[in-house]
Every structure is written in structure tokens, then in C-alpha cells.
Amino acid sequence: MIEVTRRRTLSLAGAGMATLAGCSETSDDGGTDDGDDGDDGDDGSEETIDLGGALPSYASILPESDRSTYFYGAIDFETMSTITDDEGAEAGDEPTDPLIGNPIVVALLCSFGLSQFANSRAAASYSANDETPSGEGELVFADGVYALVGEYDRDGLAADLEDDGYDRETDEESYAVYTDAETGEAIGITDEVYAFSYPNPDDEFDSVAAVERMVETASGDREPKHATDDEFERLLRAGEPTGITLGLYTADDEFASDALEDDRPEEDAESLEFEFGAFEGAFGVHQQLSVDDSDASASAVVTYADENRVDVDRLESSLGTETESLEVTRDGATVSLEAEYAGDLA
């Protein structure tokens, strides 16, 4: 599991995001509302869930991976700007509702990556060669790599990275990969993607290989994961591609227990972890959080290998606990949850 400590990233993520925890009153009945039409008891309303939406723009950069569990997160620059506007606000309490909390951790995770990158020697050259129109672009995290999706002067980036002392590892027609011998930082560049990663001392993660996989995929020289896995493609099409998005997926029938456990260290009360325990028995999760001024909407689509594995009671009791109403829809082995939040979000 990935641990994100808020006090190290709050200056970039913005206190406004943390106040989502108190943005609405908790209902007396646990925050669930199955709806009145087609109600079949504990299983939520029976309707058709549309898993045929448009692919998000970042789908083409998500590479295949050998890891048993695949995680990705994305946040568009407009949303990032919204949640970082008020850096002087009170931090507030951490959210206990994973429907909100998990996307917040994506924002913190992305902000932590940006804070690392801001202290690197490459930060100045990135800014000098960033041609992304104002307010456009996305920040994506996948396979251990951060990717800034926009428009770049690749020749200018290459020249500046070499001037800054980065070593060129790979130089292809459509992409290049550089490394910093001192820090182990790996950087990959294309015309539309600037990817970076750092060694992980806790495992055998190869940051250089991971960055190369991403830019090779982004350039079209390697097939993206969704092109080789139909179920993963359905997961990508499950929700809106804006705001903050996360996906959790395994090619197995269900997630392994260690992919879902909450290993928050007791000695660090300010740490905020992903909480995926509600998704036991599933193999795919798509969560999305949209922030608009003082309102937010959150959703999750959870997919199972068969109907016998579905546990709507677990989902209802764990998700949407900080909203007055939660709309739950079941379509065979797929469950959708949607909630609206109102209050001082940003």
C-alpha cells in the first residue's frame, strides 16, 4: 500500500481538499438511500449501469505491468488549481468516508510527486519547455510513475536535461529517457508526456524501466493496457474522466487481501491511507470525485467476477458515510454508488 503523510504535502494539495471531511452532515441512517424504483432490498435498485463511456485521454499512456494489482490515479490541472487556492485554511479533520477519502489521497499522492519534482534539477528546464495551454493538462500516477500530460518542446527538454547533467538512457524517434546518477531520478519525455519516477527503497521497483514503459506506451510504440485487457478497458470507461479519478484492478477473479488492507501506522495520526476494504471480493474499482466551487460529487463503480461475490451491504456500510444520501444501483455483478456533498470545499 502507498502511504501519504498530509503534513508533507498539504502545502501543495491545499487545505480546501481536507475540509471535504466536514462538507456535509452525516445522516442518522448511515448515509444510504437505495431509491424507490426497482428496489430489491439489500441489493440496491436494479438498473442498467453504463460501462460504455468514452475512454479518458490518459488511457493511451497507461502501460501494461507485471504487478498483480494495477493502480492508477489522475487529476486534471483545473481541479488541482481549485483545491490549492486556499493554502492558509485550517487543515480540518481527515475524512472517514472512502468515497471522498480515496480520491483525496490521489490528490495528495500527486502533490507529493510534484513536491519531489519541484526540488529536482530538472524543474527549471521543464518550466522553460512547457507549452501546455493555461488550465489544460493532467497529472497521472500509474505503475510507480508520475506523468504530466500536456504539450512540450521535446528537443528543448532534451537539450536542457543534458545541460543539467542528466544521463541519456534511451533515445528513440518519439521518446527519450534520462536519469540522474546522484538521486536515481528517471525522466521520460515525448511531445505530450513528461514522466518522472524515483527509486523505491522498500521494493525492487525499477524506476527507469517503469518510465520507459510509460513513454513508450504514450508514443504508440507499445500497446496500452486497455488495448490488451477488455475488463480493464471497461473499468476506464466506467465514469467521468474529469476531476480526481482512481482505478484499482486485478486480472484475477478478486483482489488479494494484501491489496485491500489498511496498514496505516499507529504512530502517525496525520497519515491518510487508501481504504479499499469495502471492495473485498471485487476485481475492479473506479472512483471519481468532482469539485465545483463549494460542492462535490463522488462516485464508485465496483465490478465482480460473478453475482455471488457481490456484497452490497458491505459497500453501503463503508462508503458514503459522510453524505445525507447515497444512490446505490446494482446491475448483475456490477454496483454503482453516487453521492453529492455540499459545503465549504475550497
Q: What is the pLDDT of residues 306-326, one digit of tens each?
A: 999 999 999 999 998 888 788
- pLDDT tens column, 240-266: 777 899 999 999 999 998 888 754 434
What value does the mean pLDDT of the chain take? 80
42 and 312 Cβ atoms separated by less than 8 Å: yes
> Based on the number of CB atoms within 10 Å of its own CB, is 1 exposed (0-12), middle (13-18) or buried (19 or more)?
middle
Position 89 pLDDT exceeds 80? no
Share above pLDDT 90 across residues of the chain, in percent, rounded to a whole number: 50
286 and 300 Cβ atoms separated by less than 8 Å: yes
pTM for this entry: 0.83
Question: In sequence order, which residues have a C-beta less than 8 Å from that of residue 47 and are 6 or more positions away?
Answer: 37, 38, 329, 330, 331
Number of domains in the chain: 1
- 145 has which bridge partners? 142
Domain that holds residue 175: 3-342
> Based on the number of CB atoms within 10 Å of its own CB, is 130 exposed (0-12), middle (13-18) or buried (19 or more)?
middle
Q: Please state the rounded mean pLDDT for residues 125-145.
A: 90
